[in-house]
Amino acid sequence: MDFRRKTRARVVRKPQYENLEIKYPHNVALYRTPPIEDIKINEFEDLALERLKVLRILEQANSKNLRFLSDEWKESVNTELNREGLRGYLRLCMGNSVNPSTDSNKYEQELQARRRDYISHFILRLAYCRTEELKRWFLTREMELFKYKFSSMSSTDIKHFLELNKLEYVPLNDSQKDSVKDGLYESTVGQSISKIEMLDFYKVPFTQVLDLVRTRRCYLKNGFAYVNTHDFVSIIAVIQLNEIEHGLQSAQKLIREVEADERIFHLLKSLHTSYTGKDYALNKEGIVSPESLDQLSKKSFPICMRGCHEYLRTNHHLKHGGRMQYGLFLKGIGVTLEDSLRFFREEFTKKIDAEQFTKRYEYNIYHNYGKKGSMISYTPYSCLKIIQENAVQDDCRGCPYKTNDASMLKVKLASYGLSSAHVQEVMGYVSKGHYQLACGKYFQIMHDSPVELGVHHPNQYFEESQNVMGNRSTKKLSNTKQANRNRRGGPENAQVMNADEDDELWNTAETQESTYNSMQAEKSAWNEDLDLTHIDC
Amino acid sequence: MPEEETSTVNTAKYDPNILPDMLPVYYKRLFPHKPFYRWLSYGLSESNIFANREFSYTLHDDIYIRYRCYDTQSELENDICSTCPHKIDIGAVMNTKPKNFRITSTAMQPVQRELVFDIDMDDYNDVRTCCTGATVCLKCWKFMALAARLLDAALREDFGFEHILWVFSGRRGVHGWVCDYDARHLDSRGRSALAEYLQITSNVTINGVVIARVQIGERMHHSVRRALKFIEPLFEEIVLEDQNLFGDVKGVNKLLLMIPDDTARKDLEAYLKKTHDDGVHSRTIWATFVRYANSMRTGTANVWTRKLKNIVEEIQLGILYPRLDINVTKGMNHLLKSPFCIHPGTGKVCVPFNCNAAAKFDPTTVPNIAQLLQEINAFDDKSKCQENGSEDKSRIKDYKKTGMFKGVVVFEEFLRKLESSLKAKAIDVSDQTMEF
């Protein structure tokens, strides 16, 4: 046994076994203190890429529209982890801890996995602390990983975890529970009454379980939420979230110093540019004239934008929500500021006079293009953002699959030329709440294409459509990257936006994730294996 | 102040064109500067809590200035009196002085801000038949009063907030300001979660009509149950009697559209056609609908026993549950019109009102600026006649001579509670830090 350990030690050059156990006492870490050991630059790189693969697998699972932490989701993630040879992470995610006394070899592997997990997390913090968008992508992914790991823990594991991290949560005693039992019965979602009687409940400030509050899944009284053991992960997740967020902030402060080392600088930089995701804020691929919009709207617009266009043509007006949604989309597909002004002016002035238009609406258009006010060129809305919009009378914002009643949607789809069988197919997704899948189906039907498109962004829909019809070429990726780099300039840029956009952006935490997805889709089209090693450092 | 008296004075018509001439007098004599400062300074319980607050003004011709801030009450008062804004908006407390935002090195960020709510009559246009557009009457106000009471209860019971100021927005809407320490310090994520918690309706477009639908689900969440407790007793009065919402073909259609199932809707439509002529009173239509739904629910398993088992409650909620503009609540940096502003369109003062007595509040009798000025003039004349030169009388605060009085009293009551809780908190803190 001793012998075996030594040979392994020579290969991996690991620190001492006991040392590892003290440093990484649990499969699930909160990543509170940065690691201080020295590692080789090769390992630094390996660890970073390895974790990136993991995060990417998680992201892909989402884009397959699997429900987070459902059995199918887990299976898909596990298969991918296995296929990519990420057995260490698989082990951490599966949670079935090894007993050190019976299988010390396996246990040691587990410790190694913990170490890789721990160190790589901190490396990626450095790579992802540069902009708000990157941070948000990283945070979303890390939280998924954390929740996955946490969900696999047994109750003893959880207890051990809480002790290690000095998190003291005491469940309500019987009399405390009894005093709020009506509320618990009424408002604890997902558990039967008899289960609720058995379960332990914890009383925490509502700000600690915002996801449960948002969806009305727990009992709330006087600012406190009553959370059962099954939802306990919500509490810990917020702690983890804050931990990573603060970590990213401090990483941002240190980044200049770290990058003084050129090797690290190149590695981090290339990670960064390779995984930025597609940015639709500036169109780089050609100019679309307003005259062509009538044609394009029929062929290449998703129905949310086609609806906006038709609404504008018929009513010669769009309310603010619709103007934002449609105006930014137009910017993204390549309508220039001047054209955009002209287009909206021509349409609006059929109803109001030119002076009113100038006074009331022009600013808004300049603003969207980043020429007035905060001077930020705003990003077109993603599907997730649009789906969140609530329908408003006399406006056309929002995702039509969601905001339209089924019967009306059917009529609309039929009027767009879908056969009744096709309408049924699309409606099948709609009735289950899969609006993006419905949109992908619509794309497939309209373009007579063999596969459904995974739709994440109206502008991605447009581009894919143009690609399918052969109007645009696919391989502009390198240009895009270059443009991204130039545009972004420095972290200051993104920070300005932070102040008042943060809340909104948080809600649509996946905005940039979805843009990223679309690039992913594009990439995987010509790179099936998703080989990460091609990244030059 | 007795109402009869104000109603006799209430003759002055408001004319937007002379607003600029009236504002200087209003700000000088009537705007409650002192209580206003007492509110926003929060007893100076936190550093820079007043000095870093953003104020912004709308001037004549829609000129808009942002990022004003002041160190003291008199600075604020002087600036308001000299700029005479047509509208004052209150923003967040920033991490730095807002007016310096272009010259400071760090990005300006909000550090605290009241949790605010905005309910607009516009969002009720599809369920009110009494008025349209900008007009508002006592019947419309019932929607607002109910919304404010319901939200007030939710904020107090579920979230434990105590210091909530409800303000009439000058025309037909209502603003709510939650001023508890924890509410002011809620981050964007917290605000957005809380706003979505309170928004139980989701809008659906059907045949060009936007319908607010609610889905209750298996068990009724306590917040939904409470909402029903507020709504059910008033449903008949507001929806069936006052608005007679289902009293014509269009109205009945609205009721039908609220049913989220095609077949069930068609069945009900046929049933209603069979049993009633067009134009029957809402009460009858509703009673028939409830009877129909109940009989379907007790029958063999069908869509009414599953998906539609709470449909009666869901429709009541859909019509009367507060319709929030949640983006106002979500943003920490959202500007909101200040209490005691003059609404430029109506000339009315944005007066705070007592939420518990919201039903008794009458937006149509809220004084406009012209009336107010007339009232102080009348008062001045009278007191001059009675006691020439008596010091005591002229000491009476000007707003106490007018119909604004009640609003200021509500405001001061709110401040009194707020300040005593701030004091209690300060004592708590000093007790805790005491070293022995």
Q: Nearest-CA neighbor of A331 among A370, A358, A295?
A: A370
Distance CA A209, CA A189 (A): 14
DSSP for A258-287 reads HTTSHHHHHHHHHHHHHTS----SS--S--
On the question of pLDDT at B117 being above 90, the answer is: yes
Contacts of B325 in chain A (CB under 8 A): none
Q: CB distance A222–B188 less than 8 Å? A: no
The Cα of A94 is separated from the nearest Cα of chain B by a number of Å equal to 30
The Cα of B260 is separated from the nearest Cα of chain A by a number of Å equal to 8
Question: Residue B4: CB partners within 8 Å, gap ≥ 6?
Answer: none
pLDDT value of residue B172 = 86
Asked whether the beta carbons of B147 and B166 are under 8 A apart, the reply is no
Asked whether the beta carbons of B407 and B357 are under 8 A apart, the reply is no
pLDDT value of residue B5 = 42
Q: Does B196 touch chain A (CB under 8 A)?
A: yes
Q: What is the mean pLDDT of chain B?
A: 88
Distance CA B408, CA A156 (A): 59
pLDDT value of residue B69 = 94
Query: What are the binding residues of A for [4Fe-4S] cluster?
Result: 304, 383, 399, 439
Q: Domain B3-195+325-432 belongs to what topology?
A: DNA primase, PRIM domain (3.90.920)
Distance CA A476, CA A283 (A): 12
Q: Nearest-CA neighbor of B404 among B380, B358, B370?
A: B370
Measure CB to CB from residue A408 to each of B190, B194, B205 and give the nearest one.
B205
| pLDDT tens readout for residues B349-396 | 999 999 999 999 999 999 999 999 888 888 888 777 665 544 454 556
Distance CA A54, CA A78 (A): 10
Which of B 94-113 lie inside 8 A of A, CB atoms? 107-110
Q: Nearest-CA neighbor of B352 among B89, B166, B178, B180?
A: B166
pLDDT value of residue A504 = 41
Candidates B77, B89, B118, B152; catalytic one: B118
Whether B54 sits among the annotated catalytic residues: the reply is yes
Distance CA B117, CA B159 (A): 15
- Mutate which of A184, A207, A360 to test chain B, going by most B C-beta atoms within 10 A? A207
Instruction: List the CATH code of the domain at A2-163+238-274.
Output: 1.20.930
Amino acid present at A423: V
Measure CB to CB from residue B210 to each of A210, A391, A507 and give the nearest one.
A391
- What are the tokens at A249? 């902030």
B220, with CB counted inside 10 A (0-12, 13-18, 19+), is middle
pLDDT value of residue B434 = 58
Taking CA–CA distances from B259, the nearest residue in chain A reads A405
Q: b or e along A24-58 (b: 16 or more beta carbons within 10 Å of the residue's beta carbon)?
A: bebbbbbbeeebeeeeeeebbbebbbbbbbbbbbb
Contacts of B193 in chain A (CB under 8 A): 210-211, 213-214
Candidates B77, B89, B114, B120; catalytic one: B120
Amino acid present at A94: M
On the question of pLDDT at B219 being above 80, the answer is: yes
The strand pairing partners of B94, in sequence order, are: B110
pLDDT value of residue A105 = 80
Phi, psi of A32, deg, nearest 5 = -85, -45
Taking CA–CA distances from B193, the nearest residue in chain A reads A214
How far from each other are the two terminal CA atoms of chain B, in whole angstroms? 53
Q: CB distance B262–A406 less than 8 Å? A: yes
The answer to which of A387-401, B29-43, B185-199, B422-436 has the lowest mean pLDDT is B422-436
Measure CB to CB from residue B109 to each of A210, A403, A499 and give the nearest one.
A499
Q: CB distance A404–B204 less than 8 Å? A: yes
Q: What proportions of chain A, in percent to the nearest 5, are helix, strand and coil?
A: 65, 5, 30
Contacts of B125 in chain A (CB under 8 A): 393
- What are the tokens at A407? 């019967």
Measure CB to CB from residue A391 to each of B187, B205, B219 and give the nearest one.
B205
Could you give the C-alpha distances from B74 to A178, B34, B70, B77, B85, in angstroms and in order? 54, 9, 9, 5, 16
> How would you classify the pairing of strands B87-94 and B336-337?
antiparallel
Residue linked to tokens 């300039």? A489
| pLDDT tens readout for residues B83-104 | 999 999 999 999 989 988 777 6
pLDDT in tens, chain A (537 residues): 344 443 333 334 444 566 787 888 888 888 988 888 888 888 888 888 889 889 888 877 776 667 788 888 899 899 888 888 888 898 888 876 667 777 778 888 888 899 999 999 999 998 888 877 788 888 989 999 999 998 888 878 888 888 888 888 888 999 999 999 999 998 988 888 888 888 889 999 999 899 899 999 999 999 999 998 888 888 888 889 989 999 998 888 888 888 888 888 877 776 755 543 444 544 555 678 888 888 888 889 999 999 999 999 988 998 888 898 999 999 988 888 888 999 999 899 888 888 888 888 888 888 888 877 666 677 888 887 888 777 777 788 889 998 888 888 998 899 898 898 899 989 988 888 888 888 988 998 988 887 777 788 898 899 888 888 876 544 333 344 333 433 333 333 333 333 333 334 344 333 344 444 444 443 333 333 333 333 333
Residue ranges of the domains in chain A? Answer: 2-163+238-274, 167-236, 290-526
Residue ranges of the domains in chain B? Answer: 3-195+325-432, 219-320
